[in-house]
Amino acid sequence: MSEVLIEAKGVWFKYNKKQDWVLKDVNFTVKKGEFVGIIGESGAGKTTLAKHFNGLLKPWRGEVRVLGMDTRRVPTSRLARHVGYVFQNPDSQIYSATIRDELSVGLKKLGFKAGEIEERIKWALEVVDLKKPLDISPHVLSFGERHRLAIATVLALNPDVFVLDEPFAGIDYKRSLNLLEIFRELTKKGHSVVLIAHDLQLIAELADRVVFMSQGRIVREGTPEEVIGDVAFLESNGYIPLQVSVIASKLGLGRIVRVSDMAEELYRRLTL
């Protein structure tokens, strides 16, 4: 059985006493080496749940544990060593005067030496395909470039779990897929990835497990085929299903979410 890195048990949360519950009795786990996609309508509680994974938010009821540590009793700075978080808006996490400073500040706090810091910075920028002078201000970058810088900053820290909250705004589909494939490779080395995204195709291509949230609850989870491939379920929840899933359903091929799988199934049936 794979090691559980993040575990949420019976989590209830709201932002103030007068507000309705944003999370309602949520149970959620992330195992070592797992790639989890979280989907759901705006306001479903996806980001609120994700912010519990590194202690940015604390549950009102229930508990969240990261590598066995109770997030209510451990400083966020300590949790950040294990859970790297990429925000929806990169400007929420970019605050340094230069690109080099932005990438190195966290590494310095963790005690890395200058040589290793430079190596990690170089590698992370290559991964996100950001070729800019390191001494310029990150605030002169385009929105998409700032998002890639935010991703690079988290990559350089090399945490156990990467939490990506709609990380590809302003980034084209091909580059987004390339980045996700890098994260997929990291799962093979024991890291875990939690991706919140509206793009069903990106999640279908790479996730091991898909979690569907609605009105503060997890209402369904399973493989991409079980959740994203269920055309009727998605339509009943306001989603436009993937075209490949719709075609597969009409042809009686079952639940399919990847074009490559569709081609393989058609070939198999034609060569029987």
Task: Say whether both 151 and 81 belong to one domain.
Answer: yes
> For 102-161, what is each residue's pLDDT tens digit?
999 989 988 889 999 999 999 999 989 899 999 999 999 998 899 899 999 999 999 999
Number of compact structural domains in the chain: 2
Q: The domain containing residue 37 runs over which residues?
A: 4-224
Task: Say whether both 27 and 158 belong to one domain.
Answer: yes
Task: Say whether both 166 and 212 belong to one domain.
Answer: yes
pLDDT reported for residue 90: 85
Long-range contact set of residues 7-11: C-beta below 8 Å, sequence gap at least 24: 7/64, 7/65, 8/49, 8/52, 8/59, 8/62, 8/63, 8/64, 9/62, 9/63, 9/64, 9/65, 10/61, 10/62, 10/63, 11/49, 11/52, 11/59, 11/61, 11/62, 11/63, 11/64
> For 11-45, what is each residue's pLDDT tens digit?
999 999 888 999 999 999 999 999 999 999 999 99
Task: Say whether both 28 and 136 belong to one domain.
Answer: yes
Residue 75: both structure tokens together: 């400083």
Per the DSSP assignment, residues forming a β-bridge with 192 are 161
Task: Say whether both 188 and 243 belong to one domain.
Answer: no
Q: Please state, in angstroms and rounded to a whole number, the distance separating the CA atoms of residues 141 and 151.
A: 14
Task: Say whether both 166 and 75 belong to one domain.
Answer: yes
Average of per-residue pLDDT across 65-82 = 93
> Cβ(192)–Cβ(36) under 8 Å?
yes
Beta strands 217-222 and 209-214, pairing class = antiparallel
Among 191, 209, 224, residue at a domain's last position? 224
> For 175-202, what is each residue's pLDDT tens digit?
888 888 888 889 999 999 999 998 899 8
Task: Say whether both 117 and 185 belong to one domain.
Answer: yes
> For 223-263, what is each residue's pLDDT tens digit?
999 999 999 999 999 999 999 999 999 999 999 999 999 99
pLDDT reported for residue 126: 92
Higher pLDDT, 240 or 77: 240
Task: Say whether both 121 and 59 belong to one domain.
Answer: yes
Task: Say whether both 251 and 186 belong to one domain.
Answer: no
The label of the residue with tokens 């991409």 reads 224
Task: Say whether both 235 and 217 belong to one domain.
Answer: no
Task: Say whether both 121 and 207 belong to one domain.
Answer: yes
Task: Say whether both 264 and 149 belong to one domain.
Answer: no
